[in-house]
Amino acid sequence: MTTEYRILSQQQAEHFLEHGFVAIKGCFSRDVAERAVREMWSRTGYDPDDPGTWAQKDIHMPGLNHFAVKDFAPRAWGAVCDLVGGEERVNGTYNWSDAFIVNLGVRAEEPWAPPSPASPGWHVDGDFFRHFLDSPEQGLLTLVLWTDVVHQGGATFVAGDSVAPVARRLFEHPEGLLPGEFQTSALVAQCREFLEATGEAGDVYLLHPFVLHATAQNTLRRPRVITNPPVSLKEPMRFDRDRWEDHSLVEQAVLRGLGLDRCDFRPTAPRERVVPERVRRQAEMRRAEEARLGTAHASLGSFAAHAAPPA
């Protein structure tokens, strides 16, 4: 029995189960992306034409403006619903923001090395909660591309076959794992499928929340801008639904990774929020941006109002 999806083809659904992600092309226009990137530059205070001013190479900006994906990028929204098992499973309004992650030349001085278990920084997203196999806080990992992103130009490193080892680790730890407790080196050592998440401004990668990924080298020093807004689920995932097809694609991928048809998972410790160091750092960055931009700050985010998805 096959499920009808709003946006995804059967092939894309199968690709997600097999490789941990789908890429949805052209979710918003290049014009809107360019406006967003102009705002990013004015917030940094760097001169886009003078790399000598790019003091920091890996910038994680605070989100100042939030906007509904449903309006801004309807096809991305439809695909998110397809992956998590329907709109009714999404918690609240799914928003994106201008919390830009900018790679201006990470490890540019080192010779290029393709993604491999030896690359530094492999992690799963979700630095703000204790992770269980069924956690609802990070329903999907999303990479929104605001610039063109090219080979050797800071395209996020992705381990496409990492869902299974991460699922097994979480299955073996019903008490949950804090963000630093995954021991990702041992997990990524089990992976063989490494790729760079390249694409064009306006493309969106939707990845399984268990996909290991890492900040990439940008030996080209070509400015690369993305965001990574999580999707939050209303309820924890379930792996014991009455019919197989009632499981979302994300849940099906977990069961596939575990080699099980169903599983009655119960956390043995309470769900827990964690306040990451990132929150304090970003509050500080926000104050620095405000001091530099003054009232101009208030008018940022207008790019979102100009969204007109390409035909």
Ligand X SMILES: O=C(O)CCC(=O)C(=O)O
Residues 216-235 binding ligand X (CB under 6 A) are: 216, 226, 228
By CB under 5 A, name the one of 39, 82, 98, 125 that touches Fe ion.
125
Site of tokens 């169903």 = 262
CB atoms within 10 A of CB 241: 14
Sign of torsion over alpha carbons 236, 240, 245, 246: negative
CB under 5 to 8 A by kind: which of Fe ion, ligand X, none does 156 bind?
Answer: ligand X
For the CB of residue 135, give the shortest distance to ligand X in the complex, in Å: 16
| Rounded CA separation 33/293 (Å) | 21
By CB under 6 A, name the one of 12, 119, 138, 156 that touches ligand X.
156
Nearest CB to ligand X, comparing residues 101 and 140: 101
**Do the beta carbons of residue 301 and residue 62 sit within 8 Å?**
no
| Rounded CA separation 11/129 (Å) | 33
Residues 122-141 binding ligand X (CB under 6 A) are: 125
For the CB of residue 291, give the shortest distance to Fe ion in the complex, in Å: 28
**Do the beta carbons of residue 22 and residue 8 sit within 8 Å?**
yes
User: Segment near Fe ion (CB under 5 A), from 88-96, 118-126, 281-289, 298-306?
Assistant: 118-126
| Rounded CA separation 24/39 (Å) | 24
| Rounded CA separation 253/44 (Å) | 39
For the CB of residue 267, give the shortest distance to ligand X in the complex, in Å: 24
User: Segment near ligand X (CB under 6 A), from 26-34, 82-90, 210-218, 262-270?
Assistant: 210-218
Query: Given the rule CB under 5 A, which residues bind Fe ion?
Result: 125
